[in-house]
Amino acid sequence: MSLERPHGPTSRWPWGLLPTFHRDPLTLLERVGRRYPSMAALPFGPWTLYLATGDKAVADVLRTHKDHFRKGPGMEAKNPLIGQGMLLSEGDLWREQRRAIMPVFSHNAIKAYHAAIAHEVNVGAQKFFSAASVDAGVFGRYLALAVTLSTLFGLSPKDELISRLGESTSQVMEHFHHRARSLYRPPYAWPKAFNGAFHQSSDVLRAFVEPLLDRPNTPLLEILAQSPPDRRAQEALTFLIAGHETTGNALAWTIRLLADHPEVVERVSQEAEGGLVYSEAVVLESLRLFPPVWLLSRTAIQNVEVDHYHLAAGSQFLVSPWVTHRLESYYPEAESFLPERWLDGGEIKRTRTDYRFLAFGGGPRRCPGEEFALAELSLAVANICRRWRLRSREPFPSPTPGMTLSPRGGLEILACPR
């Protein structure tokens, strides 16, 4: 007999666990996920949210009953910067956009990007690692944006452009995060005094991308240029923002983990030239421990059954890669950095239908740039480890759960040429 509602922690405070969630969401969700390893009800004042952590529950939300859900609170289609882009669009519009861009991220297309990615990795590494001390966070964001500009937007990345776009992206991402957490969200159409920094940064990003769409010179831009005029800039900016923010943080965490594990650096350095199997295992393990997208939200648009629980339309769900990736039943020694867990007979063991690994989401809305990101990250890891020895110079930083998972403070490491 199906239960009507999952169990979960209780709270005697009027706002329930909401203040704790705002203060330290990672600790709260991880604690709940370990105590209720499939589904849990979270009392957030007048609302109840459902945390899906087990692979069956996660698959039900992201794949099995995908048509019963829409993106959750804060992910608004009325967002004037990227609301009509593929990240936030729904239904037929999303399906149309997904079909259109898939050739850009096909296996053969990504193989063709390898040379450009390797070039930007080499240029970026020379620029940053020529000094003994390297901020992995700054390097990661720089390289991810340089690769995005080179491969998807057909530009030769310049430091001034990267700095300007990177700063503007950080501003809008901070705004998105603040808005998603806020109970009061002023309409975007209100005077800019209410959303000043967001609108200023949005203007910078639009001014960059709109001329490129008038003269498209890459497969992605050629596809997006065919979209309606009121939509194409939002679609292009979705790829600019999502294409480098998550990958940049992923690379930063990976380099910092490597600096604490010199034996892993040495094994990567010994991998045959052109071989990326162990480098990819390193990346996957870093993404498991520090998934840039640490939280997904969905709202049920009709009554739905998730892992045998019957829940009403309007129910809000959370899926947290941070939590699922730390369940000991899925990943023994879950807190340890063990790239070998991804290897089987010298090959990567992983399937796209594994809902225990959620760094790229899951189901039909799984990130289309997954293979692209893995290639970029693996090439960067291989290049760096083959040319430098890495050491940490400060305690491992705590993660900051904003729109993406970033380090609290710098990620300074020491790099010594081989």
Supply the pLDDT for residue 73. 66
pLDDT digits (tens, 9 = 90+) for 231-282: 999 999 999 998 788 999 999 999 999 999 999 999 999 997 878 999 999 9
Query: What is the CATH code of the structural domain delimited by 18-417?
Result: 1.10.630.10
Q: Over 70: is that where the pLDDT of 74 sits?
A: no
The answer to whether residues 165 and 208 touch, using CB atoms and an 8 Å cutoff, is yes
pLDDT digits (tens, 9 = 90+) for 357-373: 999 999 999 999 999 99
For residues 185 and 379, which has the higher predicted lDDT (pLDDT)?
379
SS3 sequence of the chain? CCECCCCCCCCCCCCCCHHHHHHCHHHHHHHHHHHCCCEEEEEECCEEEEEECCHHHHHHHHHHCHHHEEECCCCCCCCCCCCCCCCCCCHHHHHHHHHHHHHHHCHHHHHHHHHHHHHHHHHHHHHHHCCCEEEHHHHHHHHHHHHHHHHCCCCCCCHHHHHHHHHHHHHHHHHHHHHHHCCCCCCCCCCHHHCHHHHHHHHHHHHHHHHHHHCCCCHHHHHHCCCCHHHHHHHHHHHHHHHHHHHHHHHHHHHHHHHCCHHHHHHHHHCCCCCCHHHHHHHHHHHHHCCCCCCEEEEECCCEEECCEEECCCCEEEECHHHHCCCCCCCCCCCCCCHHHHEECCEECCCCCCCCCCECECHHHCCCCHHHHHHHHHHHHHHHHHHEEEEECCCCCCEEECCCEEECCCCEEEEEEC
- Cα Rg of the chain (Å, integer): 21
pLDDT digits (tens, 9 = 90+) for 109-136: 999 999 999 999 999 998 998 878 899 9
Angle, CA of 385, 390 and 393, to the nearest 5°: 160
Tell me the mean pLDDT in the region 199-219.
94
Per this entry, what is the length of the chain? 418
pTM confidence score: 0.94
pLDDT digits (tens, 9 = 90+) for 18-64: 899 999 999 999 999 999 989 999 999 888 999 999 999 999 999 99
Q: In the chain, where are the structural domains located?
A: 18-417
pLDDT digits (tens, 9 = 90+) for 156-175: 889 999 999 999 999 998 88
CB half-sphere exposure, 162, CA atoms < 13 A? 23
